[in-house]
């Protein structure tokens, strides 16, 4: 039986639910994007975004998905024939690698098991071997959305510094920014790539590049053809709060509101809320007797939890049963994880009660699908949430 009453639970790891406050902020007439009124909005979102990326440098906002922002990062910093070092953290790192290769760039792809983050030690060892400094960039996905594993960016930065290597550090924070502690300037990141539909709690449609002085300088001499994605074309009008082409005006209204919400709660409080909800989710999974895909506790994602299905049970069939019976979307396993994992998103507009609702849907679904498990996972998550807030460890 298919029942679709009540509010849909969008528990995929992005797009995340859009808060009513953001929806209302976007419900505005489209205004002239060359007007003084627009410039005020433009300046507010460009400056507000800097606070979320934690940078004093420019943040560029494209009307694009995250994939577009990936491409902007590549074409503004690298040249055909360059070599880069990437780490196989999962499906999204693999897709970014494919894109880099299509631009004629040679990729040294450090293999991974999709259950660990990028190893700072391995990155450092590769860079130490590269005495001729052929590697132009180290590219890492901060939160691998396909696996629920984070990579420790500050430690990767330390490994690059230790090797005294001049490579740029290019980081995908598409599913972490605004949900997981992240510091563009402090961690010496050269380009941070992100987008609107995850921690920013907006609909899809905005892509971001935060850029360091070193990255901008690389863009002035690199040899990659580009037009729409050119940073310099964007930065000139951005100085006055404008865009070189028609911007996604109403998404920018939403962005202004979303940034206000993040800053009102306080970024540290936002980060610890995500950690707390993630830990409660893991308490439920452990109680059910199922396995979390991430094998390294220091790398557990605060944004999503990927759960392995017991052998002989199909994760997609389970997800279908949950959707049909309880009106909840869970994330699918991607590429080599198809059918093997389901992903519970706990990011953006979520709190204890929405999480417990989602976990109830998972527990009901496990019973309905005949997946062997120990009942009481939701109660285990509640017990965790009854504990002290400061029990959460800091994340890198």
Q: What is the DSSP letter of 394?
A: P
For position 201 contacting ligand PLP by CB under 6 A, the verdict is no
- Give the C-alpha separation, 15 to 8, whole Å: 13
- Give the C-alpha separation, 363 to 251, whole Å: 36
For position 363 contacting ligand PLP by CB under 6 A, the verdict is no
How remote is the C-alpha of 88 from its chain's centroid? 16
- Give the C-alpha separation, 79 to 313, whole Å: 46
Q: Which of 46, 85, 110, 141 binds ligand PLP (CB under 6 A)?
A: 141
For position 251 contacting ligand PLP by CB under 6 A, the verdict is no
CB of 43 to ligand PLP, least distance (A): 25
Q: Which is nearer to ligand PLP, 78 or 180 (CB)?
A: 180
Q: Which is nearer to ligand PLP, 174 or 328 (CB)?
A: 174
Q: Which is nearer to ligand PLP, 15 or 365 (CB)?
A: 15
Q: Which of 10, 12, 14, 395 binds ligand PLP (CB under 6 A)?
A: 14
For position 329 contacting ligand PLP by CB under 6 A, the verdict is no
CB of 141 to ligand PLP, least distance (A): 5
What HEC string does 33-70 produce? CCCHHHHHHHHHHHHHHHHHHCCCCCEEEEECCHHHHH
- The DSSP element (H or E) to which 252 belongs, if any, is helix 249-265
For position 257 contacting ligand PLP by CB under 6 A, the verdict is no
CB of 187 to ligand PLP, least distance (A): 17
- The DSSP element (H or E) to which 159 belongs, if any, is helix 153-162
Among 14, 27, 167, 174, CA closest to 89: 174
Region binding ligand PLP by CB under 6 A among candidate stretches 63-71, 236-244, 264-272, 353-361: 63-71
Residue 343 labelled as part of a binding site = yes
Restricted to residues 168-197, the positions that interact with ligand PLP (CB under 6 A) are 172, 174-175, 195
- Give the C-alpha separation, 139 to 385, whole Å: 36
Residues of each annotated binding site for substrate: 343
């Amino acid at each position: 039986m298919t029942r679709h009453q009540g509010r849909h639970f969008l528990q995929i790891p992005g797009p995340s639910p859009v808060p009513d406050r953001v929806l209302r902020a976007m419900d505005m007439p489209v205004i002239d994007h060359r007007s003084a009124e627009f410039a005020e909005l433009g300046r507010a979102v460009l400056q507000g975004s800097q606070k979320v990326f934690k940078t004093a440098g420019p943040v560029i906002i494209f009307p694009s998905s995250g994939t577009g922002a990936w491409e902007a990062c590549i074409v503004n910093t690298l040249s055909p024939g360059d070599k880069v070092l990437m780490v196989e953290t999962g499906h999204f790192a693999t897709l970014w690698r494919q894109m880099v290769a299509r631009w004629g760039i040679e990729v040294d792809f450090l293999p991974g098991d999709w259950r660990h983050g990028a190893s700072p030690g391995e990155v450092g060892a590769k860079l130490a071997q590269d005495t001729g400094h052929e590697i132009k960039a180290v590219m890492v996905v901060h939160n691998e959305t396909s696996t629920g594993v984070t990579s420790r960016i500050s430690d990767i930065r330390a490994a690059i510094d230790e090797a005294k290597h001049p490579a740029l550090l290019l980081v995908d924070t598409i599913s972490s920014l605004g949900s997981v502690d992240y510091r563009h300037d402090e961690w010496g990141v050269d380009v941070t790539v992100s987008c609107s539909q995850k921690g920013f709690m907006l609909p899809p449609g905005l892509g971001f590049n935060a850029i360091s002085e070193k990255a901008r300088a690389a863009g002035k001499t690199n040899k990659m053809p580009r037009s729409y994605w050119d940073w310099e074309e964007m930065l000139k009008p951005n100085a006055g709060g404008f865009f070189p082409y028609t911007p996604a005006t109403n998404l920018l209204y939403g962005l202004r509101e979303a940034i206000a919400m993040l800053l009102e709660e306080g970024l540290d409080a936002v980060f610890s809320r995500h950690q707390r909800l993630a830990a409660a989710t893991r308490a439920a999974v452990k109680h059910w007797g199922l396995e979390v895909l991430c094998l390294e506790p220091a790398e557990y994602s605060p944004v999503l939890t990927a759960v392995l299905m017991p052998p002989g049970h199909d994760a997609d069939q389970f997800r279908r049963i949950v959707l049909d019976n309880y009106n909840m979307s869970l994330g699918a396993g991607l590429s080599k994880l198809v059918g093997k994992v389901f992903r519970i998103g706990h990011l953006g507009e979520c709190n204890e009660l929405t999480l417990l609702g989602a976990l109830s849907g998972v527990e009901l679904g496990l019973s309905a699908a005949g997946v062997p498990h120990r009942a009481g996972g939701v109660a285990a998550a509640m017990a965790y949430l009854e504990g002290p807030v400061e029990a959460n460890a800091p994340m890198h």
